[in-house]
Structures are given as structure tokens and as C-alpha cells.
Structure 1
Amino acid sequence: MQPLLEPGERMEEASSKPSVSLWGWISTFRTMAMEAYQRKPISHWILLVLSSGAMLVAFPASSLLSRVYYANGGKSKWIISWVAVVGWPLTALILIPTYFVFKTCPTPLNFKLVLSYIVLGFLSGADNLMYAYAYAYLPASTASLLASSSLVFSALFGYFIVKNKLNASIINAIVIITAAMTIIALDSDSDTYGNVSNSQYIMGFIWDIMGSALHGLIFALSELLFVKLLGRRSFHVVLEQQVMVSLFGFVFTTIGVIVNGDFQNMTTEARSFKGGKAAYYLVLIWSAITFQLGVLGGTAVLFLSSTVLAGVLNAVRVPLTSIAAVILLGDSMSGFKILSLIVTFWGFGCFIYGNSSKSKDSSQ
């Protein structure tokens, strides 16, 4: 039988327990972090930091540059969608050395694999075109918030096509992010540029949601490609898939630019562009570079870490893009948009938690 404690002693003991628990949690987390760090060479962590940085910097920069193009006199939707895939040789230049570093051979091509790359390339080109329409009519902060709905469509298409499991947290995330998109729709009056009509704003909203849905479908089909045809997910195989899809996307988009006559119109656009020809071509060149760097960063994060970390970084880059658009481009940040941003971030947290729980269950 334990001796009775005085009231003051009881309070002191009770108040000391939470602090011990907190320090114990911190100590456990620090131990786990050190063990994870020691399991991998320093080169692994350097590459992971660089890849994460590429995602957090390059993707928002690409989104802002698309808006800069339209805000300063650019009009072509095909040019911006073409710029998103014209940088595919950068990925190819990184892919080729991996064959020598990892002593691997290119994945043999067959009819089904080539057909899959063609279909994904076509869908990728269409997806970029939809997003181009969105950035033509919407502020960059709004467009990035709406594009976060691709997470919802990735989960839904993954469930129906790849048979991925849905748990309560992921379903909760789907509902929350959908609510965030509804909040954005309520703010259309204060979120429209002076030269954009209400009908164009609505079309931009619709194109952004459709592009996000198509992006989710592409993600699910890409996962199905790895499961059914490639059967593995090594670094060079992921890069091969990215190169081939971007190549066919580049082919389809180039045909669209030629048919639409936009290559001939580039000279006229450059002359009337605010800042001059040099600024016009620099915007397009850096748009191509930043988009490919973002894709490469995302690919490397998936390989070096996990889909959970990639999801965390995707969640972080949404507010980064919105805040950067407010600071650099003068986008409005109304109460509705701030609320939507908070709700979106909450939805991302639920999705990441749901995926981590699902991973733990499958590993047990």
C-alpha cells in the first residue's frame, strides 16, 4: 500500500508527469530520426534534400510563370501547354547516366508498353492544355488551390482502377478538400481580374477542376502501368516512364501548336509583351526548366523516400504558391481564400495520415 501524499505533493507529481511524457516523446522521436539517418549514406540525404527543394521551389515557380505570361500580354493556351513538356530532354539527360551508374539496361519495349506511353502522353498533353486555360483566367493563388483537388481524384481513380484501399481518413480528406473548392467558388466576385469576364472565370474554374481530374486519372493509370506491365519501380524505370510520356506529350502538343499557328504568332506576342522580347522568351524558357525540375524532384522523392513524403511536400507547396502569388503578383487574399487554404491543408493532413495508416497496416 502506497503512502498518502499531501495535496501539494499530489499536484507536484501530477504536473511532472506531462513533462516526463513530452520529453520521452521527444527522446523517442530523436532516436528514431538518428536510426533512420544512420541507415542511409550521407549522399542519400543530400539527394533527398535537393529533390524536396526542387519540388517546393520549381513547381510554384512554374505556376507563377504561367500567370506572368498571361498577365503581361501572352494569349496562347497551346504555347504554355507546349512549354510544360518541351523540357523533356532534361529528364533524358539524367536518365542515360543511370544505366552506367546502376549497371542496368533499358526496359524492353513491346506493343502494350508503347501504346500505354502514347495514351499517357496524349492525356498529359490534354491535361497541360486544361491547366493553361485555368491560368489564363484565374489568379495563380486560386488556380493552385483548385489544382490540389487532384489528390481527391487520384484517390478515387486509384480505388476504381488500381483497387487501392480507402480508409476513413482518406474519405474524410476527399470531403474536406471538396468543401475547400466550394469555398473558393463562393469568392468569385473578389477574385476576378479586370480583363477577365465572369464567364471566363467560370470556364477557368471548370478547366482547372477538369485538369485536376485528368491528372488524377493519369496518376492512377501510371500506377497501373507499373503494376501490370513494368512490374517494378526502380529509379531508372520511373525516369524511363517520365521521359516516354513527356516525349509523346511533346509530340501531340507540338502538333496542336502547329495546327493552331501559334509558332508564327510567337514573334507578334514577343513584340507586344510587357518587358520586351527578352522577357517573353525568358518566361517561356524558365517555365520549361522549372516544370521539368519539379517533375524530376517529385520522381526522386518518390524513389528516395515514400509517397507519404511526396504528399507532405505537395501539401506544403500549395500554400507556398498562394502566398508567393499574393506577394509577387499582387493576388488578393480574401477571407474566403484564407479559409479555403486552411481547409485544404487540413484535408492534405487527413490524406497523408490515411496513407501512412494504410502503409502500416499492409506492412504488418
Structure 2
Amino acid sequence: MERESEQLPQTQPTDTFEVKEPRNHVFSKVSGIARSTVETYRSKPASHWLLLALFGGFMLTAFPASSLLSRLYYNNGGQSKWILSWAAVAGWPLTAILLIPTYIFTKSRPTPLSLKLAAWYILLGFLSAVDNLMYAWAYAYLPASTASLLAASSLIFSALFGYLLVKNKINLSSVNAIVIITTGVVIIALDSKSDRYPGITNKQYILGFVWDILGSSLHGLIFALSELVFIKILGRRSFYVVLEQQVMVSFAAFIFTSIGMLINDDFTGMKVEARSFKHGEVAYALVIAWSAVTFQLGVLGGTGVLFLASTVLAGVLNAVRVPITAIAAVIWFHDP
């Protein structure tokens, strides 16, 4: 009994040490993250973080608004995918108007348009036009909440293309987000009957699903290529290069989409749709106009985040907007 009582005090410190060690380890990790965050914040001026917050705010408000307007267009009698795609890039003059005073205040001159830079703008404009058309098809057959949830898969492609093309790092948080989003997409695919609008066939629903995923993958590629243009050609010189890139890319996309509109005779079709629109011609014009404004603000936000941060952060914010869009769609459209 005496030997047993002598041994008991010896085991007590060991147990106490084993309990405290994990706590110290967690505390050190939290301290390291906090220290790294403070260092990152101090490495940039306050104006950098204000602009980043502004551009991020554009992404989190304008893109959801644009998605809801797309659904509103279809719900009230709109049918043309080309018209909706055209509206997305028809607002490019708004960014051009912002660019002019920016040149004046920063005392800068327009970036010379080399053949290489023009080729990049044309490529990105073409990809953007195709991407908008894919999303227009997706929103024709899917509820806004479902379409936005599927669009979150763009984070996967943003991280992948950012890693392959721009050499962005993929950390553990990005991997976790990719796994969660992929799981969510699979669940939506398996539960396809519960979120379908009346009158939508199996073929149409599957088509909308496929177009949404393809559009998200192309969206991720556009993010990565846009950042590559900043790194390789434009440089991260000043804010005006963000506006320059958006104006030129949106203008190229506008030209490509307008050609599609002409071939499909949809400029005439706009007049027909306006007359048959559920809430009248004025409501139709407002939906088209606000679609143009909100999409341009969203793209401006995305391009600004690419310029100030990275493709991965742009992809993360693009995924964060998903619950905002989904909740708003359930409230306003009573999405299934």
C-alpha cells in the first residue's frame, strides 16, 4: 500500500502535462495566424484594403442582383438567351465613363494597345460572351437559388486554373472549401426533383445543370487569365488598368454578343418581348437596364479583387455570394 501511494504523485504531473500540451499547441497556432494577419495588413496601405473591401462589396451585391434579375426576366415572359447575354455586357460604356476622370486625377495616359494586348482582350471578350450565354441557358431552366449554388463550383476552377496558370498557392482552407462545394453540387444533382419549376422537363433541367457547371469552369478560367494579363502585360501599376481591362474585355464581349443577336434577329425580338412582358414595356426596359448595370459592377468588383489580391480570393468571394443569392431567391421568387 505504501509503494502504491508513493507512485500516485508521480503519475499526476504526467497527466497534467498531457492535458495542457494540446491547449498550448492550439494557442500557438492561433497566435501565429493572428500575427500573420497583422503583418499582412501592415504590408499594404489603408487605401489598398479600402479598395479591396469596396470591390469585394461590389461582387457580393451586384452579382446576386444580376442573378435575380435574370430569373425575373424569365419569370415574366422573357425567353431569349441572347438578349440576356447581351444585357450583361451592354453596360460597358458605364465603365468607360469612369475611366476618363481616372486618367485626369491620376495624370496617367492610356496603356498603348499592342497586338499582344489586343489579342488577350479579344480572347477574354470571346470567353466572357460564351460564359454569359452559358449562364443565360442555366437560368432559363434552373431556379435562381439552385443556379447560384452550382455557380459556387467556380471556386474549384478558380483555384485550379490559378494554380496551373498563375502559380497561386492552394492552402488547406481552399481544399476544404473545394470539398464542401463539390459535395453540395453532388447532393443537388441527386435531389434534382425537389427544386424544379413546373413545366421544366428532365432534359431541360439536366441541360441547365450542365451549362451552369460549364459556365462556372469557364468563369474560373477567365479569372485566372485576367490575373495573368495583369502580371505579364499590364502590371499592377494603378487602379486605372483595372478599368482599362474591363472596358476592353466588355467591349469585345459586347461585339461578339451583338453579332449573335443580329444573326438570331433578337434586336427585333426585344420589341416583341417588351410588348408581351408581364408587367409592361417599362418594366422590361428596367430589367434589361439594371441587368447591364449590376453585371458591370459585379465584373468591376471581380477584376478589382484580381488586381489587388488573387484569383483564389476572387473565387472565394464568388462562392460567398451564393447563400446571399439563394436566400434572396427563396424570399422573392419562392424558389423550390
Task: Give the TM-score band, short-chain normalised.
Answer: 0.7 to 0.9
Give the root-mean-square deviation of aligned CA atoms.
Answer: 3.3
Q: Which ranges of structure 1 fall in alignment gaps of 5 or more residues? A: 5-13, 333-364
Percent identity of the aligned residues? 67
1:330 aligns with 2:301: no
Measured against aligned partners, the alpha-carbon deviations of 1:214-238 in whole angstroms (never above 9, x if no partner) come to: 1112122222222333343532122
- Do the aligned partners of 1:58 and 1:290 also contact (CA within 8 Å) in 2? yes
CA distance in 2, matches of 1:227, 1:301: 14
CA distance in 2, matches of 1:176, 1:297: 25
CA distance in 2, matches of 1:160, 1:45: 27
Q: 2:13 matched to which residue of 1?
A: none
Q: Shift of residue 187 of structure 1?
A: 1.6
Q: 1:203 matched to which residue of 2?
A: 207
Q: Shift of residue 325 of structure 1?
A: 0.3
- Do the aligned partners of 1:134 and 1:143 also contact (CA within 8 Å) in 2? yes
Query: What amino acid is the match of 2:89?
Result: V
CA distance in 1, matches of 2:55, 2:167: 29
Q: Shift of residue 147 of structure 1?
A: 0.7
Q: Which ranges of structure 2 fall in alignment gaps of 5 or more residues? A: 1-8, 10-18
Q: Shift of residue 175 of structure 1?
A: 3.1
1:119 aligns with 2:117: no
- Do the aligned partners of 1:234 and 1:303 also contact (CA within 8 Å) in 2? no
Alignment of 1:73-84 (within 5 A): 73-84=77-88
The alignment covers a number of residue pairs equal to 321
Instruction: Describe the shift of the 1:303–1:160 C-alpha distance in structure 2 as closer, same or farther (beyond 3 A).
Output: closer
Instruction: Describe the shift of the 1:216–1:282 C-alpha distance in structure 2 as closer, same or farther (beyond 3 A).
Output: same
CA distance in 2, matches of 1:261, 1:58: 29
CA distance in 1, matches of 2:224, 2:307: 17
1:286 aligns with 2:290: yes
- Do the aligned partners of 1:81 and 1:129 also contact (CA within 8 Å) in 2? yes
- SS of alignment partner, residue 232 of structure 1: coil
Q: 2:110 matched to which residue of 1?
A: 106
**2:137 pairs with one of 129, 133, 137:** 133
Alignment of 1:305-320 (within 5 A): 310-311=314-315, 313-320=317-324
- Do the aligned partners of 1:120 and 1:218 also contact (CA within 8 Å) in 2? yes
- SS of alignment partner, residue 105 of structure 1: coil
Q: 1:350 matched to which residue of 2?
A: none
Instruction: Describe the shift of the 1:218–1:297 C-alpha distance in structure 2 as closer, same or farther (beyond 3 A).
Output: closer
1:59 aligns with 2:63: yes
CA distance in 2, matches of 1:37, 1:160: 29
Measured against aligned partners, the alpha-carbon deviations of 1:194-226 in whole angstroms (never above 9, x if no partner) come to: 121111010000000111111112122222222
Larger Rg: 2
Q: 1:221 matched to which residue of 2?
A: 225
Deviates more, 1:82-91 or 1:46-55: 46-55
Instruction: Describe the shift of the 1:133–1:64 C-alpha distance in structure 2 as closer, same or farther (beyond 3 A).
Output: same
CA distance in 1, matches of 2:53, 2:281: 36
CA distance in 2, matches of 1:40, 1:163: 25
CA distance in 2, matches of 1:56, 1:75: 27
**2:299 pairs with one of 285, 291, 295:** 295
- Do the aligned partners of 1:138 and 1:205 also contact (CA within 8 Å) in 2? yes
- Do the aligned partners of 2:158 and 2:220 also contact (CA within 8 Å) in 1? yes
- SS of alignment partner, residue 161 of structure 1: helix
Measured against aligned partners, the alpha-carbon deviations of 1:117-137 in whole angstroms (never above 9, x if no partner) come to: 111111110000000000000
Instruction: Describe the shift of the 1:311–1:166 C-alpha distance in structure 2 as closer, same or farther (beyond 3 A).
Output: closer
Q: Shift of residue 38 of structure 1?
A: 12
Measured against aligned partners, the alpha-carbon deviations of 1:132-190 in whole angstroms (never above 9, x if no partner) come to: 00000000001011111111112222233334344454344333322211111012111
- Normalised to the residue count of structure 1, the TM-score between the two structures is 0.77
Deviates more, 1:74-83 or 1:109-118: 109-118
**2:93 pairs with one of 89, 96, 101:** 89
- Normalised to the residue count of structure 2, the TM-score between the two structures is 0.83
- SS of alignment partner, residue 236 of structure 2: coil
Q: 2:257 matched to which residue of 1?
A: 253
CA distance in 2, matches of 1:152, 1:233: 29
Alignment of 1:7-86 (within 5 A): 36=41, 40=45, 47=51, 49-86=53-90
- Do the aligned partners of 1:226 and 1:233 also contact (CA within 8 Å) in 2? no
Query: What amino acid is the match of 1:160?
Result: L
- Do the aligned partners of 2:62 and 2:298 also contact (CA within 8 Å) in 1? yes
Instruction: Describe the shift of the 1:216–1:29 C-alpha distance in structure 2 as closer, same or farther (beyond 3 A).
Output: closer
CA distance in 1, matches of 2:65, 2:273: 22
- SS of alignment partner, residue 279 of structure 2: coil
- SS of alignment partner, residue 70 of structure 1: helix
1:235 aligns with 2:239: yes
Instruction: Describe the shift of the 1:231–1:306 C-alpha distance in structure 2 as closer, same or farther (beyond 3 A).
Output: closer
Q: 2:153 matched to which residue of 1?
A: 149
